[in-house]
């Protein structure tokens, strides 16, 4: 699996975004489909980031995963370090925050729990 499919080059991503090592490890190990969660390919992440910017202009978000059964997306936010926010996209501004995790590993643990519950 090519990392380039999931990690945007520096000229395409926000200047504030440095992909966490933990995220890179997930991609390198091919842990990209955790049904119901899926890691986004770069092209989809860039399109979705533009949409998030339009819907939530007061926030700078960059998504890296989506949940297939609803409008939840896992994102990083400018100024928040490695913290992960789950945004319920298309919610009214101010109501979009679904969950927050200290880092990718904390989000990943939750995604694994959701994978187990999915069965």
Residue whose entry in the numeric block shows the structure tokens 């520096």? 10
Cα 10 to Cα 23: distance, rounded to the nearest angstrom:
16
For the cut 90, the answer to whether the pLDDT of residue 2 exceeds it is no
b (16+ CB within 10 A) / e for 44-72: ebeebbeebeebbeebbbbbbbbbeeeeb
Q: pTM of the entire structure?
A: 0.95
* 87-118 per-position pLDDT tens digit: 999 999 999 999 999 999 999 999 999 999 99
* 21-55 per-position pLDDT tens digit: 999 999 999 999 999 999 999 999 999 999 999 99
Query: What total number of domains does the chain contain?
Result: 1
* 47-98 per-position pLDDT tens digit: 999 999 999 999 999 999 999 999 999 999 999 999 999 999 999 999 999 9
Domain hosting 30: range is 3-8+15-118
Q: In CATH, what number is assigned to the domain containing residue 55?
A: 3.40.1580
Residues with Cβ within 8 Å of 40's Cβ and at least 6 positions away in sequence, in order, are: 6, 48, 63, 64, 65, 66
């Amino acid at each position: 699996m090519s990392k380039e499919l999931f990690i945007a080059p520096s000229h395409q991503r926000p200047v504030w975004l440095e992909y966490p090592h933990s995220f890179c490890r997930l991609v390198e190990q091919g842990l990209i489909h955790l049904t119901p969660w899926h890691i986004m390919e770069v092209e989809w992440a860039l399109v979705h980031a533009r949409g998030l910017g339009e819907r939530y202009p007061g926030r700078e978000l960059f998504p890296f995963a989506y949940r297939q059964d609803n409008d939840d997306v896992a994102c990083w936010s400018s100024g928040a370090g490695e913290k992960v926010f789950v945004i319920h996209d298309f919610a009214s501004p101010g109501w979009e925050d679904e969950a927050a995790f200290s880092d990718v590993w904390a989000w990943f643990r939750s995604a694994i729990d959701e994978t187990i519950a999915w069965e």
